[in-house]
Amino acid sequence: MNRWAFVTGADRGVGLSLVKGLLERDYHVLAGQYAEAGDELERLEQLGGGRLKRIPLDIGDEDSVSKALESVAAVTDRLDILINNGAILGDMEATIEDELDFAEMDKVFRVNTLGALRMSNGLIGPILESGSKLIVNISSEAGSIGDCWRTGWYAYSMSKAALNMQSRLIYNQITPKGGKVMVIHPGHVRTYMQGKLDTAGKLTPDESAGYILRLVDQRLDPGYSGEGLALIDYEGNTLPW
C-alpha cells in the first residue's frame, strides 16, 4: 500500500529537501508549490516515477488551499504525513518603540499560523484514515516563550508561538484516535527566507531535513516511547514552550 506525504513550502530550502528525503523513503509526495516557477521540483517530478505531484499552493489564501485540497482528494483518500513547513519571516528589526507594520504582521499570521491550521483542518480526514496519522509542524525556537531573548521579530515569534498552541490543541483532539503531532525547530538553516542567502546558518537545507526526517522515523517506530508532544529542536532536544 502506498504511503502519502504532503509538504507545504516545497519550492526550495528545507521544504524542497524534505520532499527529496521523503521520495528516498519511497513515499508518494504531494508538494505545495508557492512560486510559479519551480525548476528543481519540476525536475524531481520528472524523475520521480509518478511518486511526486506538484500542487500550486499559497497557504495564506483560502481559495488556493481549497483548490489544493481538491487536488489531494483526486489522487488519495489517505495521508500518512502532513508537514506544515511553509512560512515567512516579516520584519526582524522593529521593537515596541518603533513604528510597527501591522498589515505585514497580519500576512505573517495568515501564513505561519492560519496557513498551517487550514492545511491540518482540511486534511484531517485523510490523515486519520492513514496508517501513520502524523502532523509535523515546523516551528522555531523563536516561538519559545521560555527561551525568548529578542526585542523584535514580533510577527514571526508570535506566529510560531501561536503555531505551538495550535499543535497542542490538535494533539489533544486526535491522540485518542491514534493521531500524532510533532513540533520541530529546524535549526538555523542557510536559506533565502530573508530575501538573500543567510550565510550565517549552521545547517544546509539537506542537513536540516535529514535531522527532521530521522525524528519522524523515530516517532513512527512502533516501539516509540518518548514524549507525546514537545517542542523539540532538530536534534531531538526539548525546548521550553
- Average pLDDT of the residues of the chain: 94
Mean pLDDT value across residues 211-233: 95
pLDDT (0 to 100) of residue 202: 86
**pLDDT-above-70 percentage for the chain:** 95
Place 194 in a pLDDT band, splitting at 50, 70 and 90: low
pLDDT (0 to 100) of residue 193: 66
- Here the CATH number for the domain that contains residue 130 is 3.40.50.720
Say which range, 12-16, 32-36, 161-165, 191-195, has the weakest mean pLDDT: 191-195
Domain count, the chain: 1
Q: How far apart are CA 13 and CA 9, in angstroms?
A: 9
User: Which domain range does residue 51 map to?
Assistant: 4-239
Q: Which amino acid is at 79?
A: L
Helix axes 102-112, 114-128, angle to 10 degrees: 10
20 CB-near residues (< 8 Å, 6+ apart): 44, 206, 209
Mean pLDDT value across residues 46-68: 94
Model confidence over 3-45: pLDDT tens digits? 999 999 999 999 999 999 999 999 999 999 997 666 888 899 8
pLDDT (0 to 100) of residue 83: 98
Q: Nearest to residue 59, comparing CAs of 91, 3, 11, 125?
A: 11
Torsion, CA 12, CA 162, CA 168, CA 177, rounded to 10: -60
